[in-house]
Structure formats: structure tokens, C-alpha cells
Chains A and B, each alone.
Chain A
Amino acid sequence: MANSIRVRAVASGDHTEVQALVQHPMDSGFVKDAQGNLIPPHHIEVVDFQHAGKTVFTALWGPAVAKDPYIKFSFKGGQKGDDIAVSWVDNKGESDSLTAKIM
């Protein structure tokens, strides 16, 4: 099965724009299943983006972030070929990470 994180990082001038899409149910805890039982909350809490060993962006997410969440941001720095490291951890302690190259 493929990694849960997809990243598109593009350097433009002196900035790098980063988009990420993460495959995650982001269950809010408010939805019932077919049997009428509440599906417990299961959502990403923290997403960390790093470039050159420094965090350039931190996302703190609650259950109201959409399923298969998306994020876009931009930071000063980064060049084509540099690494962007992305990692997330959810409320159950599960996690995943990925390093992608800036294009």
C-alpha cells in the first residue's frame, strides 16, 4: 500500500510553495455507523513540515478538518532538489512521514 502522504513542493523565486494531501479518515466522533454506534474520533493532531532541519510549518488539526485532508502554505527559502520532510501524528498515536524533493 502506498504512503499516506503526497507532497508537491515547488520553488518559485525565493519562496517554496508546499501542498500536501494526506490519506486519513479524520473521523470526527460525531458520525454513527450503520449499526447506529458512534464512530470514535480518529484524526490527525499535528503535521510537521521541515526544510534544512528546521520546522517551516506546523498544522494543528481538530476533527473538523475534512477527510483526506489538504494543506497549502509557502515559506521563504528552499531550492529545487532540496528535501521537504513531512510527518504527522494522530490522536491514537499513529503516525507516518515522507520526504519529498522540491521541484
Chain B
Amino acid sequence: MLRVIAVLIAALWVAGACPAAAADTINPDADFKAFRDYFTKKFPKVPLNDFVNGPYSMDAGLRKQWEAIEDFPPYDFAVDRGKEMFGTPFKNGKTYGDCFANKGIGVRQNYPYFDEKSGEVITLELALNRCREANGEPPFSYVKDEMASLTAYMAFTSRGKLFDIKIPNDPRALAAYQNGEKYFYSRRGQLNFSCASCHVQSAGQHIRTEVLAPALGILAAMPIYRSEWGSMGTISRRFVTCNSQVRGVPLEPQDENYRDVEYYLSYMANGLPISGPGARP
């Protein structure tokens, strides 16, 4: 029995930020503190707000190339296109702005949120497609193109605003949060990696010439123009490709588990600034 406990504690310690609390109490605030402490201790030289720049907060050579690209970034086209789409009414005369607080400007940092009426996590991408469907328009693909342009524009209008994710005192919200946390730390795929394997345990280390971004603030730069894709990609795209990269079977974009992971990671980033849209290798 003692050996089992020792193994459990060792496993939790290896996973890094997993709280050692009893399994039936969900304590996001304790998780938050442990998660943040893990990264600030592991990378004492990185200013807290710089974590949102992912690999560039960890490697000077990569940072210099990134800064050269940020000088006139390729995601500018997506931001322009998103702005244009925002300004174009649907066939019924309504606009995207009508579906959001403050006309959709400067609100990205509040997503995802837990909708107590429907009992589910609402991400920005989901909200945008629901807005379209509510106004008689067909939904967009979640992974790129129009969805990326819309979220790029919305992220851009929120640049510098701090993540403000709320977990209401509702057991369903806490369950969604915990499900996201569980998904993040669970191993999957042929390579048997969890998201944490790369972005918690190996954050800052190289994978070929790229540097693994720390999980702290990892969604702040989304959506991103990846040189690898030669195009923009959304949070949905990245989650799907992450699953494929560990040779696992990807879920459908905006699957409940993906939304819960986004909820968990975004909550962990509370207080950090939105840096999106971003450019990545």
C-alpha cells in the first residue's frame, strides 16, 4: 500500500503541476498557484508576462528571428480579413458584433466561459459559429481560413488585455475544468505523450530546432500563423494536430474534451496578457 502511495506521489510530482489534493475536491485556485510556481521556478529569468511568447521567451536565437517576423507579420492579412468580416452583415442584416458583449471588440480574454444555462464550456470559436447559425448562416470550418481570420481580429482587439476566465461555483463548471485538466495530463497516442509531457515536463527544451512552449499562457498568442502550415490556424487546429503529432486519433474540433482543455489552460493563464494573433515556426 505504501509503495502504491509512493508511486502515486512520484507520478504526480513528475506530472509537475498536478495538485496532491484528494481526488474528490476540485481546487482550481490551488492548481493555479502550483502551476504558476512550477513555471516561474523552472524559468526564473523569464518575466511573467513573457511566457505568452512561448518558445521565444526561452531561446535568444529564435527570439531574434521571431522579432524580425513580428516587424511585419504574415498574420496581418488575417486580421484585415477578420475586420472586414466583422463589418459585413449577415443576410439578415445582423452582424457578428450583435452576438457579443461590446460588439465583440476587446472580449477575447473572457473566453472560454462556462454557460450555466446550457451547462457547457463556450469557446470563442464555438461562439462564432453559433452566432452564424443563429443568424441563418452556415458554420465555418473550425481549423483555419475564415475562423482563423475572425479569431485573429478578435484577439488583435484584445491585445494586452489580461485573461479573465471564470469558474462559477457550479459543480458542472468545476467538472468541466477538471476534465480539461485530466485530458491535459493523460497520455495518449502511439508516442504515449500527454500535453504535459511536452509543455510541462519538457518546456524550454528542443524538439529538433524548435523549442517547446511552456503551457503557461500557451493559448495567449492564438490564432497563429505557423511557418510550418504556411497559413493561419486556430486553437482547434493546434489541438487536432497535437493529437496527430503524438500519433493519436484526433477528436473532432470543438469536441467537449478540447473545449475543457482550453478552459483549463485559459484559467491557468489568468492575469497574463493576450498576445495574439501570433507567428510561430
Chain A interface residues toward B at CB < 8 A: 1-2, 6, 8, 19-21, 23, 25, 66-68, 70, 72
Inter-chain contacts of A70 with B (CB < 8 A): 69, 72, 74
Contact of B77 among A2, A8, A20, A72 (CB under 8 A): A2
CB distance from A88 to the nearest CB of B (A): 15
The distance in angstroms between the C-alpha atoms of A21 and B225, with both chains bound, is 14
Q: Which of A8, A19, A23 has the most CB of B within 10 A?
A: A23
Query: Is the CB–CB distance between B72 and A2 below 8 Å?
Result: no
> In the complex, what residue of chain B is closest to A21 when comparing beta carbons?
B72
Query: Is the CB–CB distance between A6 and B71 below 8 Å?
Result: no
Mark B207-229 against chain A: 1 for CB-CB distance below 8 A, else 0: 00000000000000000000100
Inter-chain contacts of B77 with A (CB < 8 A): 2, 6, 21, 23, 68
Could you list 9 examples of A-B contacts with CB < 8 Å? A2-B77, A2-B84, A6-B76, A6-B80, A21-B73, A21-B74, A21-B76, A23-B77, A70-B74
Assess whether B81 is interfacial by the CB under 8 Å rule: yes
Interface residues on B, range: 10 to 19
The distance in angstroms between the C-alpha atoms of A1 and B82, with both chains bound, is 11
CB distance from A19 to the nearest CB of B (A): 5
Assess whether B230 is interfacial by the CB under 8 Å rule: yes
The distance in angstroms between the C-alpha atoms of A20 and B76, with both chains bound, is 11
Which B235-250 residues sit within 8 Å CB-CB of chain A? none
Chain B interface residues toward A at CB < 8 A: 69, 71-74, 76-77, 80-81, 84, 227, 230
CB distance from B222 to the nearest CB of A (A): 19
Inter-chain contacts of A2 with B (CB < 8 A): 77, 80-81, 84
CB distance from A70 to the nearest CB of B (A): 6
Query: Is the CB–CB distance between B81 and A19 below 8 Å?
Result: no
Inter-chain contacts of A6 with B (CB < 8 A): 72, 76-77, 80
Q: Given A2-B81, A2-B84, check contact A67 B76 (CB 8 Å).
A: no
Query: Is the CB–CB distance between A19 and B72 below 8 Å?
Result: yes
CB distance from A93 to the nearest CB of B (A): 22
Inter-chain contacts of B76 with A (CB < 8 A): 6, 21
The distance in angstroms between the C-alpha atoms of A72 and B81, with both chains bound, is 23
Inter-chain contacts of A20 with B (CB < 8 A): 72
Inter-chain contacts of B227 with A (CB < 8 A): 66
> In the complex, what residue of chain A is closest to B230 when comparing beta carbons?
A67
The distance in angstroms between the C-alpha atoms of A8 and B76, with both chains bound, is 12
Inter-chain contacts of B69 with A (CB < 8 A): 70
